[in-house]
Structure 1
Amino acid sequence: FVFLFFFSISEVDFGIRILLTSIVFLVIEYLAKMLTKETRPDFKTNKEKSLIGKFEEKHSFPSGHCGYIALLTTMLNLHYHNVLLTSLFTAITISVGFSRIYTKRHYFNDVVGGYVVGITLGILSFLIFP
Protein backbone atom coordinates (compact mmCIF):
# COMPACT_ATOMS: atom_id res chain seq x y z
CA PHE A 1 0.00 0.00 0.00
CA VAL A 2 3.04 2.24 0.10
CA PHE A 3 2.72 2.75 -3.65
CA LEU A 4 -0.74 4.31 -3.12
CA PHE A 5 0.91 7.05 -1.08
CA PHE A 6 3.14 7.95 -4.00
CA PHE A 7 0.20 7.98 -6.40
CA SER A 8 -1.51 10.48 -4.12
CA ILE A 9 1.47 12.85 -3.95
CA SER A 10 1.98 12.99 -7.72
CA GLU A 11 4.94 10.61 -7.89
CA VAL A 12 3.11 8.08 -10.02
CA ASP A 13 6.26 6.72 -11.70
CA PHE A 14 7.87 5.99 -8.34
CA GLY A 15 4.63 4.43 -7.07
CA ILE A 16 4.49 2.12 -10.08
CA ARG A 17 8.17 1.21 -9.57
CA ILE A 18 7.42 0.26 -5.94
CA LEU A 19 4.33 -1.72 -6.95
CA LEU A 20 6.08 -3.73 -9.67
CA THR A 21 9.19 -4.38 -7.60
CA SER A 22 7.01 -5.47 -4.66
CA ILE A 23 5.24 -8.00 -6.87
CA VAL A 24 8.59 -9.40 -8.03
CA PHE A 25 9.71 -9.57 -4.39
CA LEU A 26 6.60 -11.53 -3.36
CA VAL A 27 7.15 -14.05 -6.16
CA ILE A 28 10.83 -14.52 -5.24
CA GLU A 29 9.99 -14.82 -1.54
CA TYR A 30 7.34 -17.47 -2.20
CA LEU A 31 9.60 -19.47 -4.52
CA ALA A 32 12.50 -19.33 -2.04
CA LYS A 33 10.26 -20.57 0.77
CA MET A 34 8.94 -23.33 -1.48
CA LEU A 35 12.46 -24.43 -2.46
CA THR A 36 14.17 -24.22 0.94
CA LYS A 37 11.26 -25.32 3.16
CA GLU A 38 13.15 -24.17 6.26
CA THR A 39 10.88 -24.53 9.30
CA ARG A 40 10.33 -21.52 11.55
CA PRO A 41 12.05 -21.62 14.97
CA ASP A 42 8.70 -21.48 16.77
CA PHE A 43 6.72 -23.75 14.44
CA LYS A 44 6.27 -26.59 16.93
CA THR A 45 5.13 -24.32 19.76
CA ASN A 46 3.24 -21.62 17.87
CA LYS A 47 0.88 -22.85 15.18
CA GLU A 48 -1.16 -19.69 14.62
CA LYS A 49 -3.16 -19.43 11.42
CA SER A 50 -1.87 -16.91 8.94
CA LEU A 51 -3.77 -15.15 6.18
CA ILE A 52 -1.81 -16.98 3.51
CA GLY A 53 -2.24 -20.39 5.08
CA LYS A 54 -0.23 -23.24 6.47
CA PHE A 55 2.62 -22.97 3.98
CA GLU A 56 3.45 -19.39 4.91
CA GLU A 57 3.01 -20.16 8.60
CA LYS A 58 5.53 -22.99 8.55
CA HIS A 59 8.42 -21.79 6.37
CA SER A 60 10.88 -19.09 7.29
CA PHE A 61 13.55 -18.48 4.63
CA PRO A 62 13.78 -15.68 3.60
CA SER A 63 12.08 -13.33 6.03
CA GLY A 64 9.37 -11.53 4.09
CA HIS A 65 9.08 -8.73 6.65
CA CYS A 66 12.83 -8.03 6.55
CA GLY A 67 13.02 -8.36 2.79
CA TYR A 68 10.13 -6.03 2.13
CA ILE A 69 11.25 -3.34 4.56
CA ALA A 70 14.79 -3.57 3.11
CA LEU A 71 13.31 -3.23 -0.39
CA LEU A 72 11.33 -0.13 0.58
CA THR A 73 14.24 1.38 2.49
CA THR A 74 16.59 0.87 -0.46
CA MET A 75 14.13 2.33 -2.95
CA LEU A 76 13.28 5.34 -0.76
CA ASN A 77 16.97 6.02 -0.11
CA LEU A 78 17.87 5.81 -3.80
CA HIS A 79 14.93 8.01 -4.76
CA TYR A 80 15.22 10.79 -2.16
CA HIS A 81 18.97 10.89 -1.26
CA ASN A 82 18.13 12.30 2.18
CA VAL A 83 20.54 11.50 5.04
CA LEU A 84 17.88 11.88 7.75
CA LEU A 85 15.39 9.62 5.94
CA THR A 86 18.15 7.12 5.17
CA SER A 87 19.12 6.96 8.84
CA LEU A 88 15.51 6.61 9.99
CA PHE A 89 14.57 3.91 7.47
CA THR A 90 17.80 2.00 8.10
CA ALA A 91 17.14 2.01 11.86
CA ILE A 92 13.61 0.73 11.27
CA THR A 93 14.91 -1.97 8.92
CA ILE A 94 17.45 -3.18 11.48
CA SER A 95 14.85 -3.16 14.28
CA VAL A 96 12.49 -5.29 12.18
CA GLY A 97 15.27 -7.86 11.79
CA PHE A 98 15.95 -7.91 15.53
CA SER A 99 12.25 -8.26 16.30
CA ARG A 100 11.83 -11.22 13.91
CA ILE A 101 14.70 -13.04 15.66
CA TYR A 102 13.63 -12.00 19.18
CA THR A 103 10.07 -13.27 18.68
CA LYS A 104 11.51 -16.54 17.32
CA ARG A 105 9.76 -16.19 13.97
CA HIS A 106 13.07 -16.34 12.07
CA TYR A 107 16.65 -17.47 12.33
CA PHE A 108 19.49 -15.02 11.70
CA ASN A 109 20.08 -16.41 8.20
CA ASP A 110 16.39 -15.88 7.34
CA VAL A 111 16.70 -12.20 8.24
CA VAL A 112 19.94 -11.76 6.30
CA GLY A 113 18.43 -13.61 3.33
CA GLY A 114 15.44 -11.27 3.37
CA TYR A 115 17.70 -8.23 3.54
CA VAL A 116 19.81 -9.48 0.61
CA VAL A 117 16.77 -10.13 -1.59
CA GLY A 118 15.15 -6.79 -0.70
CA ILE A 119 18.25 -4.66 -1.14
CA THR A 120 19.20 -6.42 -4.38
CA LEU A 121 15.76 -5.92 -5.90
CA GLY A 122 15.69 -2.30 -4.77
CA ILE A 123 19.00 -1.59 -6.47
CA LEU A 124 18.06 -3.55 -9.60
CA SER A 125 14.82 -1.58 -9.94
CA PHE A 126 16.88 1.60 -10.35
CA LEU A 127 19.55 0.04 -12.57
CA ILE A 128 17.08 -1.59 -14.97
CA PHE A 129 14.62 1.33 -15.07
CA PRO A 130 16.65 4.52 -14.38
Structure 2
Amino acid sequence: MTQNDDARLLFGDRIPERFIPELRRWSREKRWGYFTRNEIDLFRIAAVAYADAARPSVGQIYRLLCALVDEDAERNSVPVRKPSLTTFRRIVKSMPDEFVRHMRFGRLRRVHTFDLVSSAAHAVGINFH
Protein backbone atom coordinates (compact mmCIF):
# COMPACT_ATOMS: atom_id res chain seq x y z
CA MET A 1 0.00 0.00 0.00
CA THR A 2 1.47 3.36 -0.96
CA GLN A 3 1.68 6.28 1.42
CA ASN A 4 -1.11 8.06 -0.45
CA ASP A 5 -3.54 5.21 0.17
CA ASP A 6 -5.89 5.62 3.09
CA ALA A 7 -5.01 3.20 5.88
CA ARG A 8 -8.68 3.09 6.93
CA LEU A 9 -9.71 1.03 3.91
CA LEU A 10 -11.51 -2.18 4.87
CA PHE A 11 -11.87 -0.89 8.44
CA GLY A 12 -14.74 1.55 7.98
CA ASP A 13 -18.16 1.78 9.51
CA ARG A 14 -20.40 -1.22 10.06
CA ILE A 15 -22.72 -2.11 7.20
CA PRO A 16 -26.35 -1.39 8.13
CA GLU A 17 -28.48 -4.52 8.50
CA ARG A 18 -30.90 -3.38 5.78
CA PHE A 19 -28.18 -3.84 3.13
CA ILE A 20 -27.02 -7.31 4.23
CA PRO A 21 -29.61 -9.36 2.26
CA GLU A 22 -28.93 -7.40 -0.94
CA LEU A 23 -25.16 -7.73 -0.52
CA ARG A 24 -25.51 -11.48 0.01
CA ARG A 25 -27.55 -11.77 -3.20
CA TRP A 26 -24.91 -9.71 -4.99
CA SER A 27 -22.14 -11.98 -3.68
CA ARG A 28 -23.87 -15.03 -5.18
CA GLU A 29 -24.39 -13.46 -8.60
CA LYS A 30 -22.62 -14.36 -11.82
CA ARG A 31 -19.07 -15.55 -11.46
CA TRP A 32 -16.46 -15.00 -14.14
CA GLY A 33 -15.44 -18.39 -15.57
CA TYR A 34 -11.70 -17.78 -15.50
CA PHE A 35 -11.52 -17.35 -11.72
CA THR A 36 -12.38 -19.84 -9.00
CA ARG A 37 -15.23 -19.24 -6.60
CA ASN A 38 -12.77 -18.42 -3.80
CA GLU A 39 -10.94 -15.89 -5.98
CA ILE A 40 -14.16 -14.11 -6.97
CA ASP A 41 -15.30 -14.10 -3.33
CA LEU A 42 -12.02 -12.42 -2.35
CA PHE A 43 -12.43 -9.84 -5.13
CA ARG A 44 -15.98 -9.07 -4.00
CA ILE A 45 -14.88 -8.67 -0.38
CA ALA A 46 -12.22 -6.19 -1.50
CA ALA A 47 -14.78 -4.42 -3.71
CA VAL A 48 -16.98 -3.69 -0.68
CA ALA A 49 -14.16 -1.44 0.59
CA TYR A 50 -15.12 0.96 -2.23
CA ALA A 51 -18.22 1.80 -0.20
CA ASP A 52 -16.13 3.29 2.62
CA ALA A 53 -16.88 6.84 3.81
CA ALA A 54 -13.23 7.71 3.08
CA ARG A 55 -14.30 7.42 -0.59
CA PRO A 56 -11.30 5.50 -1.90
CA SER A 57 -10.79 5.16 -5.62
CA VAL A 58 -11.12 1.83 -7.40
CA GLY A 59 -7.39 2.06 -8.10
CA GLN A 60 -6.54 2.36 -4.41
CA ILE A 61 -8.59 -0.69 -3.56
CA TYR A 62 -7.18 -2.61 -6.52
CA ARG A 63 -3.62 -1.90 -5.30
CA LEU A 64 -4.63 -3.06 -1.81
CA LEU A 65 -6.12 -6.26 -3.25
CA CYS A 66 -2.98 -6.94 -5.29
CA ALA A 67 -0.81 -6.39 -2.22
CA LEU A 68 -2.95 -8.87 -0.26
CA VAL A 69 -2.72 -11.43 -3.06
CA ASP A 70 1.08 -10.99 -3.27
CA GLU A 71 1.42 -11.37 0.50
CA ASP A 72 -0.72 -14.50 0.41
CA ALA A 73 1.35 -15.92 -2.46
CA GLU A 74 4.48 -15.68 -0.33
CA ARG A 75 2.86 -17.85 2.33
CA ASN A 76 0.99 -20.42 0.26
CA SER A 77 1.94 -22.80 -2.51
CA VAL A 78 -1.30 -22.20 -4.46
CA PRO A 79 -1.31 -18.52 -5.45
CA VAL A 80 -4.50 -16.59 -6.10
CA ARG A 81 -4.72 -15.03 -9.53
CA LYS A 82 -5.22 -11.28 -9.72
CA PRO A 83 -8.03 -9.76 -11.76
CA SER A 84 -7.24 -7.04 -14.26
CA LEU A 85 -8.12 -3.53 -13.16
CA THR A 86 -10.96 -3.59 -15.72
CA THR A 87 -12.40 -6.80 -14.27
CA PHE A 88 -12.10 -5.48 -10.74
CA ARG A 89 -13.79 -2.22 -11.75
CA ARG A 90 -16.65 -4.28 -13.26
CA ILE A 91 -17.06 -6.11 -9.92
CA VAL A 92 -17.10 -2.81 -8.01
CA LYS A 93 -19.67 -1.31 -10.40
CA SER A 94 -21.90 -4.38 -9.97
CA MET A 95 -22.43 -3.63 -6.26
CA PRO A 96 -25.90 -2.43 -5.22
CA ASP A 97 -26.07 1.31 -6.01
CA GLU A 98 -28.10 2.31 -2.95
CA PHE A 99 -25.61 0.60 -0.64
CA VAL A 100 -22.64 2.36 -2.24
CA ARG A 101 -24.34 5.79 -2.17
CA HIS A 102 -25.37 5.36 1.47
CA MET A 103 -21.96 4.24 2.67
CA ARG A 104 -19.95 6.80 0.68
CA PHE A 105 -22.23 9.84 0.89
CA GLY A 106 -25.57 9.17 2.58
CA ARG A 107 -24.52 9.67 6.16
CA LEU A 108 -22.71 12.92 5.53
CA ARG A 109 -24.49 16.15 6.27
CA ARG A 110 -24.00 19.32 4.29
CA VAL A 111 -21.27 21.49 5.81
CA HIS A 112 -22.03 25.20 6.02
CA THR A 113 -19.52 28.04 6.03
CA PHE A 114 -20.30 28.76 9.70
CA ASP A 115 -19.33 25.16 10.60
CA LEU A 116 -15.99 25.51 8.81
CA VAL A 117 -15.21 28.91 10.39
CA SER A 118 -16.27 27.77 13.84
CA SER A 119 -14.17 24.62 13.59
CA ALA A 120 -11.14 26.53 12.31
CA ALA A 121 -11.49 29.19 15.02
CA HIS A 122 -11.61 26.52 17.70
CA ALA A 123 -8.55 24.77 16.22
CA VAL A 124 -6.42 27.92 16.27
CA GLY A 125 -7.74 29.09 19.66
CA ILE A 126 -9.80 32.12 18.63
CA ASN A 127 -13.07 32.70 20.49
CA PHE A 128 -15.88 34.81 19.07
CA HIS A 129 -18.01 36.56 21.73
**If the length of structure 1 is used for normalisation, what is the TM-score?**
0.41
Q: Which has the larger radius of gyration?
A: 2
Question: Which of the pair is proportionally richer in helix?
Answer: 1
